[in-house]
Structure 1
Amino acid sequence: MKKIYLLSLATVAAMPTALMAEIPEGYYDNLKGLSGGDLKTAIYNTIKSPNTPGYGPGANKTWWAFYETDQLPDGTYLNRYSDLKFEVGERGSRPKKDIKGTTNSKGDYIEMNIEHSFPKSWWGGSEGSIYNDLFNLYPSDNSTNSAKSNLVMDRVASVSTDDGYTKIGRGTNVSENVWEPIDTYKGDFSRGYMYMISAWQNYTWVKVGLQFLDNNLYPTFKQWAADLYSEWCRLDVPDQIEIDRNEAVYRIQGNRNPYIDFPNLFEYLWGDSTDCAFDPEKTVVAGGGIYRPASPLDPANPDHYYRMEILYAADYTTADNGVTETTVKAPDASSSVWNRSSQYGWVANSYIGGIRYESDATLYTEEIDLAATTNA
């Protein structure tokens, strides 16, 4: 019998098929075995020259596309920059006020704009495909759009404004004003930046963009930006909305964001695996599992993906669930290192009365039989 002791109390579970990225057969074949600059250039060759729609309102333009890429089930647009909600209305039209009829200091209605997450001034202001690229465009209220301006995305150290979604203030890594998104979208915007410096790596970065970019093919991000955006990608992995949007944009302009399809791709370029060769057939895809190409590809067929079984699941906020503790050293005879609460589950602590104590204690689950498991 194979046995395993889990020292981490995380739940290991399978992801439903509906969440899986629907990667076209052979789309990422040219990334296999590459790393560093070669990998980034291969990504560029895969996703460059998208067939972007026109810009603005009207048929086959940005707002026409947003109708498919950013409409929520309740008939409003997803606004990633503030809590203002706008009804979608006729396809191709731009909302002229939010549901509550919110006004600005001049008494004008706050409207919806097309927001370039990665501002055009960073590449010199030229328009065309890069300007129209849907992976860089989101519906936004014009008030936040104006406040965000062309600021670099950084962790805000000293807040000047915060609407609960978008912070603006002095940066942690940039001495000037920066903007910071809400936690829910930190990974979304970081993967968007990674996409832009990959899909458009033939462009020259200028002005404010040089606060976090260098004009080289790789790594392109300055070190602080690579570290921060990698951190945010780990904290906020692609959710169903981001996965669905990737598919919708692909249907419209014919290219994909590989940093959504492969949530750990950034690790091979800027994270913890830069000395490893990337293999799209042996890495996690958005939603869980591992992509295994087949011909023809059928995303609904589980045989086209390596699947993770549910090995262990437990709610420690309600019960011990058979967990035992082995304590080598505790802060004192009357204290335990591990304690279970209804709010957090099992929590370790050796900071008592304002003093940090050396301790050594391990939690063990009950035995888990892996004898019949092939893809744990």
Structure 2
Amino acid sequence: MKKITLILFLLFVSLGFSQTVVINELDSDTTFEGNNIDNHEFVELLSETPNFSLDGYVLVFFNGSNSGNDSSYYTIDLDGYTTDVNGLFLIGNNSVSPIPNLIIPSNLIQNGADAVAIYLGDDTDFPEGTMATQTNLVDALVYDTSDADDVALMALLGVSTQYNEGSGNNTNSIQRFDDGLGNANSITYTSTTPTPRALNDGSGMVLNGVLISVVDAYFNEGDSFDVTFTTEQAVDSDLILDFTLNNEGFNTSDFTGNTQVTIPTGQNTITSTITLVDDTMDEGDEEFKVVLQTVPNNYVRLNNNIERRVVDNDFVVAAYGTPLNPTFGIVSSTQPDGYYNSIDGLSGAALEQALQDIIAEEGVVRAQTYSDIIDILEEADQNPENSNQVWLVYTEQGRAKLDYQTTSNNVGTWNREHTFPRSLAGYNSIDLDDFRDGKNTFWNTTADSLRHGNSDGHALRAADGPENSTRNNQHYGQYNGPTATAGSFKGDVARSVLYMQIRYNGLSVENGFPDVSGQMGDLATLLDWHRNDPPDDFEMNRNNVIYEWQINRNPFIDNPDLVEYIWGNQMGNVWNNPLSVDQFTAETIKVYPNPVKDKLYISGNKQQYNVSVFSAEGRVVLTQKVDNNSYLDLELASGLYMVTIETNGESITKKIVIE
């Protein structure tokens, strides 16, 4: 019996120190830019023999945190891949140099206490949340960044040591060393300076690195630029390099120039000049990607996938203005005939319920995914001055649509801002929110579908990344926007938040800064913002765009006076839809602010208007000609008045309140 046990033990030792593939190096927490973003993470595998096929192997990452429960969070099937002439195979971020054989997203590898393991098997054997196991295990490394040992994870993987890479934001990697003696002490691990695509002991073939350089980050259509390839050492025979520039919509029709170059024997650099085609089509800004194709075995690509921006000079300028320079009456509401008829003659709770019945009607109104919101905002918040940009709420500026935030680094990016914050409302994303499945794929939704507030286009805006973080979940009134801005967003966000109370059961807008789930403030601030920043053409256009996606509208953009009948100085009074004659409906006249103290502005798409003001008894108290986008001076007593605006034989009448 003892003899059999000894044989099994020796067999186990032999297998333990002769794996065909091992984890040779791990860098889970490296940051060189000082932004706490792990752009240089990698895992390096080593095969016992060079140019070894990795078919049949799978690499699995395990989460050792309490929430991770020592189970898998990411899996890579290695079928189709092969180690290099030194037996190495590198998996990492695009910023790692030399460029990895297989690219993974930044910030993917968790810092620890966690583990990475090689198995014989397939990625389907390890769906997300699979508990760590020794079944079919080839090699495993349990590691941390100055964290406590995860004893349970080590036991699951059958290892006795957890290796420390170093404290947070370190510049080390964990490297495997083998003294070749084949005993239990032969294998050691050390935290030291990273050596991706090189054997840890400095042995092996030294590969000649090829570096790609493109100097500028932005180019305009019609520009020419150089793509330069440089080797670390002069080449000993002509080196032919093939590269591509294609990336999504950018293709060979967008440029001219050679995409094959040759570095002559004895030299180490070559340049290709590329000229961008200046066409007349508005394709939007694009990005090309310099991708160097396969290089000979004795060379290695130091970098690759170099992206640069091409700015399209054929962008469209809209007929209407930005919120910073607003226009009125150019964009008409696309509401269907009779859309608001059911609210006529109602007041109080009945008015609110009738509005909700319209904008939350089951079987009509649609809910989109949170990822669809990116497409919605690119259209709804498009910068009127440049169709290749979105207009940013709060910071009042345009930003390229291509600069949508895709990593944890939000500087210079835009993202999705909830005007009614998630944490205050109590809604969040689900897995299906990750899909951008388009306008014609949607969820059924009702007034009770509060979760759909997470992706309601009327309550989300394109926002500057850092400014969105600054706002966080503050109530309006606590947050008043960046300093030195004009506040052109204030009425927009007020109407957005007020819409949410009517659209979803469980949400309300309150005075002050409540800390009750579902409540948001400050109502008094939002009413003031609404009155002093009336809906403009930009806001009407986004209302129309969102209607195409969700089949509902924000009624406070179409009928801003409704705000007063629900929350303001007309609260409790009966609502009647504004009067107008049929032939005058093509022009939308804006009369603001309302209520008004002294100056009443008139805006539309005619040059001049004849304005008459009537008292509540029907007596004319003021008549005056007013130029478009100008104002009427009011020196009248407080109260309710009717204003008739005439031009070219057509007229419209609106109610105003003078404070």
**Aligned partners of 1:227 and 1:271 also within 8 Å:** no
Query: What do the CA deviations read for 1:76-133 (whole angstroms, capped 9, x no partner)?
Result: 11001225542123xxx82569xxxxxxxx9974322111111011122344421000
Question: What secondary structure is seen at the aligned counterpart in 2 of 1:140?
Answer: strand
Q: Which amino acid aligns with 1:80?
A: V
Question: What secondary structure is seen at the aligned counterpart in 2 of 1:86?
Answer: strand
Question: What secondary structure is seen at the aligned counterpart in 2 of 1:183?
Answer: coil
Distance 1:16 1:94, change over 3 A: closer
Structure 2: distance between partners of 1:346 and 1:204: 39
Distance 1:162 1:33, change over 3 A: same
With the length of structure 2 as denominator, give the TM-score of the two structures: 0.34
Instruction: After TM superposition, give the deviation of residue 30 of structure 1 in Å.
Output: 1.5
Q: What residue number does 1:199 align with?
A: 503
Instruction: After TM superposition, give the deviation of residue 23 of structure 1 in Å.
Output: 2.2
Q: What residue number does 1:64 align with?
A: 375
Q: Which amino acid aligns with 1:146?
A: S
**Aligned partners of 1:212 and 1:221 also within 8 Å:** yes
Alignment partner of 2:567 out of 270, 275, 278: 270
What are the equivalent positions in structure 2 for 1:199-348 lying under 5 Å apart?
199-200=503-504, 202-203=505-506, 211-212=513-514, 225-282=522-579, 287-288=588-589, 309-311=609-611, 312-313=624-625
**Aligned partners of 1:136 and 1:196 also within 8 Å:** yes
Q: Which has the higher strand share?
A: 2
Distance 1:261 1:192, change over 3 A: same
Q: Which has the larger radius of gyration?
A: 2
RCO higher in structure (CA 8 A, sep ≥6): 1
Distance 1:283 1:155, change over 3 A: farther
**Aligned partners of 1:53 and 1:62 also within 8 Å:** yes
Q: Which has the higher helix share?
A: 1
With the length of structure 1 as denominator, give the TM-score of the two structures: 0.57
Q: Which amino acid aligns with 2:416?
A: I
Alignment partner of 1:45 out of 341, 353, 357: 357
Q: What residue number does 2:337 align with?
A: 25
Distance 1:309 1:22, change over 3 A: farther
**Aligned partners of 1:205 and 1:214 also within 8 Å:** no
1:154 aligns with 2:477: yes
Higher deviation after alignment, 277-286 or 122-131: 277-286
**Aligned partners of 1:51 and 1:129 also within 8 Å:** no
1:116 aligns with 2:418: yes
Q: What is the RMSD computed on CA atoms of the aligned residues? A: 4.2
Instruction: After TM superposition, give the deviation of residue 205 of structure 1 in Å.
Output: 6.4
Q: What residue number does 1:145 align with?
A: 468
**Unpaired runs of at least 5, structure 2:** 1-326, 430-450, 592-607, 612-623, 636-645, 654-659
Q: Which amino acid aligns with 2:366?
A: N
Q: What residue number does 2:212 align with?
A: none
Structure 2: distance between partners of 1:263 and 1:32: 15
**Aligned partners of 1:52 and 1:253 also within 8 Å:** yes
Distance 1:209 1:252, change over 3 A: farther
Distance 1:213 1:44, change over 3 A: farther
**Aligned partners of 2:345 and 2:576 also within 8 Å:** yes
Instruction: After TM superposition, give the deviation of residue 209 of structure 1 in Å.
Output: 10
**Aligned partners of 2:513 and 2:520 also within 8 Å:** no
Structure 2: distance between partners of 1:146 and 1:213: 19
Question: What secondary structure is seen at the aligned counterpart in 1 of 2:400?
Answer: coil
Structure 2: distance between partners of 1:30 and 1:347: 34
Question: What secondary structure is seen at the aligned counterpart in 2 of 1:266?
Answer: helix
Distance 1:196 1:314, change over 3 A: closer
Question: What secondary structure is seen at the aligned counterpart in 2 of 1:78?
Answer: strand
Q: What residue number does 1:8 align with?
A: none
Instruction: After TM superposition, give the deviation of residue 20 of structure 1 in Å.
Output: 3.1
Structure 2: distance between partners of 1:81 and 1:129: 24
Structure 2: distance between partners of 1:243 and 1:36: 26
Question: What secondary structure is seen at the aligned counterpart in 1 of 2:382?
Answer: coil
Distance 1:236 1:374, change over 3 A: closer
**Aligned partners of 2:543 and 2:553 also within 8 Å:** yes
Question: What secondary structure is seen at the aligned counterpart in 1 of 2:374?
Answer: helix
Question: What secondary structure is seen at the aligned counterpart in 1 of 2:547?
Answer: helix
Instruction: After TM superposition, give the deviation of residue 310 of structure 1 in Å.
Output: 3.0
Structure 2: distance between partners of 1:229 and 1:24: 28
